[in-house]
Chain A
Amino acid sequence: MSNLFTLWRRELAAYFLSPIAYLVLLSFLVLNAVSFLLMVNFMDGRTTDASVMQSFFNTFFYWVAMLFVVPVITMKLFAEEKRMGTLETLMTAPVSDASVVQSKFLGAMTFFAIMWLPTVAYAWILNYFAKDATPIDWGPVCAAYGGTLLVGLLYISLGLMASSFTHNQIVAAIVGFVLIAVIFFLGFLSRIGPTWVQAFFGYLASVEHMSDFARGQIDLRRVLFYISATVFILFVTQKIVESRKWR
């Protein structure tokens, strides 16, 4: 357990020791700020069926950020250690493969959460400056952040798995992006075809899930899906890391 903490701290610190982290944070914030501004401008003086904060979690920008930023966060996790050879020093320390996988996942997850943190200010800004026009309903806002973290769990575990395949960060990013994109676009199959197809792919439909969460509707099935899928992918990743032992 203390190992996990030590490893997690190193993973998190590694983000802030590299310039890529700041670049990611900056571009992410710029993207979201543009999204927020456009939305506020558009909704100013109009009657819409969704609030600003509700729409914020399901814009084009939101999904661009999720699909493109996550692979960039996760690409280095295993690939860099493999390339530098530090995986060998890491794995010959008295740590288990499982705790290495978990700490890398938790480190990326923490960075992901930190990335979203400044956007809480948008809700506060709205609440402060436009109290009369759009009062903030904090419940759905919290649910939306919870939903973002849940989707983040799944996407980051996919990115982590992609990183464990290779020692090339670019390859890790591309494979990660493809895996995430496949899951994302399969979700759209929930809108076409026979009922059972729709029902099945409904479980993958992140866009639908996020719009539910942003309305404040927390469906336990969704929560369980994201958590169990993540656990499964982390398990597979651990097996991939262990595969050096039986290859």
Chain B
Amino acid sequence: MIEVQNLTKRYAGVTAVDGVSFTVNRGEICGFLGPNGAGKSTTMKILSGFMPATSGQATVAGHDVFTESEEVRTRIGYMPENNPLYPDMRVTEYLGYRAALKGVPRAKRKARIDEVLQLCGLSDVRRRIVGQLSKGYKQRVGLADSLVHDPDLLILDEPTIGLDPNQIRQVRQLIKDLGKRHTILISTHILPEVEMTCNRVIIINKGKIVASDTPENLTKMLEGGGTVRAEIRGERAAIERGLRGLPGVKDVQIEAGNDDFLRATIYAPPRSDVRVHVFEVAAANRWTLRELSRVRQTLEDVFAFITMKEAPVKEEEGK
């Protein structure tokens, strides 16, 4: 669906996107993940035909986004960052205008608008003025707009920014449902969002792609990390000494819990399992063991691991 090769975009002296290459297959929900200013929005603006790249190539459904821009734009539903809308129009008026602009035939327009209103849960506010809607509803109007011409590809730039947790959940569910019919490229810096909605993640940092895989595989990268959490009752110093003495344990952190149990975090190298040793040492010392579990690595850890790793190096380069 999307093929990007060596895409580079330079603004006056700043390289926003630096030789990025990736593909998104038909039917995928692909998460575009990165800290603010990583080049997510720029890449999306290029793909949607708003501006061309400095160099490199990008095609959508086999059409080049620079030379066949209008052709590409009829196939894309793009929702820019901050979801700009005309505040002075009614919801149906706005969607009617956008549908006409995107070439939905007059005869089909009304039915199609009813369909997207239904899909986005906007039926109750169809006569309301866009500017007076709550942020959550506005966001859905933006989504409805990007959907109205039934595009093959949806490009959504931070669609859940500024929403409250309930609205975020609703929008995510909506995106998930849309993923059954459309290919979606969604950008965000909120990690749980990607874990929940996407079946592939591209992590971009400082204009470069640093990782690209399924969320599961990415978390697995760190999952081998054998960090274990335990709740133990006993004498603190003795416990710390005992745990540190275990084979493979690199570090132990102990903090007091709410009751007389201590919470211990035991750091061990990847692909090792120190749980058995922890149990044995607890049994030998007659400590009461209440919890013993591996810490599940989230995408958040992967993200921090990948993006932080590079940051200090770059800073030194600057000096």
Interface residues of A (CB under 8 A from B): 2-3, 6-7, 9-10, 13-14, 17-18, 84-86, 88-89, 91-96, 244-247
Contacts and interface: CB of A to CB of B under 8 A. Distances in A.
Contacts of B103: 94
Contacts of A10: 97
Interface in B81-119: 81-82, 84-89, 97-98, 100-103
A3 B101 contact: yes
Contacts of A89: 78, 80, 84-85, 98, 145
Interface string B149-165: 00000000000000000
Given A85-B84, A92-B50, 17 more contacts: A6-B100, A7-B101, A18-B88, A84-B86, A85-B81, A86-B85, A88-B84, A89-B80, A91-B50, A92-B73, A92-B80, A93-B102, A94-B70, A94-B73, A94-B74, A96-B70, A247-B12
Interface residues on B, range: 20 to 34
A85 B87 CA distance: 12
B88 A17 contact: yes
B101 A88 contact: no
Contacts of B85: 86, 89
B125 interface: no
B84 A92 contact: no
Contacts of B70: 94-96
Nearest to A17: B88
Nearest to B86: A86
Contacts of B39: none
A89 to B, nearest CB: 6
A95 B88 CA distance: 22
Nearest to B77: A92
B62 to A, nearest CB: 17
Given A14-B88, A17-B88, A86-B84, A92 B78 contact: yes
Nearest to B96: A6
| Residue of B84, B89, B97, B145 ringed by the most chain A CB atoms within 10 A | B84
Interface in B27-69: 45, 48-52
A36 B102 CA distance: 47
B175 interface: no
A7 B86 CA distance: 13
Given A17-B89, A94-B74, A84 B101 contact: no
Contact of A93 (B11, B45, B101): B101
Interface of B: 11-12, 45, 48-52, 70-71, 73-74, 76, 78, 80-82, 84-89, 97-98, 100-103, 145
Which of A18, A84, A94, A247 has the most chain B CB within a 10 Å cutoff? A94
Contacts of B12: 247
A17 B89 CA distance: 8
A173 B101 CA distance: 28
Given A6-B100, A6-B101, A7-B101, A93 B84 contact: no
Contacts of B84: 84-86, 88-89
Given A14-B88, A85-B80, A85-B84, A92 B97 contact: no
B101 A244 contact: no
Contacts of A2: 100
A206 B201 CA distance: 62
Contact of A94 (B80, B86, B102): B102
14 contacts: A2-B100, A6-B100, A13-B89, A14-B86, A84-B86, A85-B80, A89-B98, A93-B98, A93-B101, A94-B73, A96-B70, A245-B51, A245-B52, A247-B12
A3 B99 CA distance: 11
Nearest to B12: A247
Contacts of B81: 85
Nearest to B79: A89
- Closest 7 A-B residue pairs measured CB to CB? A85-B84, A17-B88, A94-B73, A6-B100, A86-B84, A94-B74, A92-B48
B45 A88 contact: yes
Nearest to B87: A84
A130 to B, nearest CB: 43
Contacts of A7: 101
A93 B52 contact: no
B51 A244 contact: yes
A2 B84 CA distance: 24
A130 B233 CA distance: 108
A85 B102 CA distance: 18
With a 10 A CB-CB cut-off, give which of A96, A245, A246 has the most chain B CB atoms. Answer: A245
A85 B81 CA distance: 9
A94 B70 CA distance: 5
Contacts of A17: 88-89
B101 A92 contact: no
A92 B88 contact: no
